[in-house]
């Protein structure tokens, strides 16, 4: 017999999946105006540059902190991991851009000021999705 906690947990997972499905449906239905496309591209590029600079700084610090020649291989592994993360995270297709921006907002690589000019429907989706991502990673 299942405990009441497992039913509550299952209910929470179902609600989370339902919200994710609703977000996905809303993202696929969004239309991007030419002005919004420019704003989105600039925000995307700024976040990419910001995170890339952070990674570069971390690599430089790793190398400065060690005189061990084997540190090169640890740096390589770190960069390989980050490259995989980048490939998964930075996807500039309009059909998934709300999810990408929500993740970047939640991680602090992007801020809402950079998205000023997007229609309110997109900003509302971003606020909701980024807040849920922040809560799920705490």
The share of the chain scoring above pLDDT 90, in percent, equals 75
pTM above 0.85, yes or no: no
Q: Do residues 47 and 115 make contact, with C-beta atoms less than 8 angstroms apart?
A: no
pLDDT (tens digit per residue) in 110-137: 999 999 999 999 999 999 999 998 877 6
* Rounded CA Rg of the chain: 19
């Amino acid at each position: 017999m299942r405990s009441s906690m497992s039913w509550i947990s299952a209910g929470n997972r179902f609600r989370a999946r339902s919200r994710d499905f609703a977000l996905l449906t809303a993202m696929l239905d969004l239309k991007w105006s030419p002005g919004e496309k420019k704003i989105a591209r600039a925000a995307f590029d700024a976040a990419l540059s910001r995170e890339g600079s952070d990674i570069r700084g971390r690599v430089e610090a790793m190398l400065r902190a060690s005189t061990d020649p084997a540190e090169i291989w640890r740096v390589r592994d770190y960069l390989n991991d980050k490259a995989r993360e980048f490939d998964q995270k930075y996807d500039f297709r309009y059909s998934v851009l709300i999810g990408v921006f929500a993740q970047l907002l939640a991680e602090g690589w992007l801020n809402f000021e950079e998205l000023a000019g997007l229609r309110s429907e997109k900003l509302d989706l971003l606020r909701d999705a980024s807040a849920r991502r922040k809560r799920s990673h705490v």
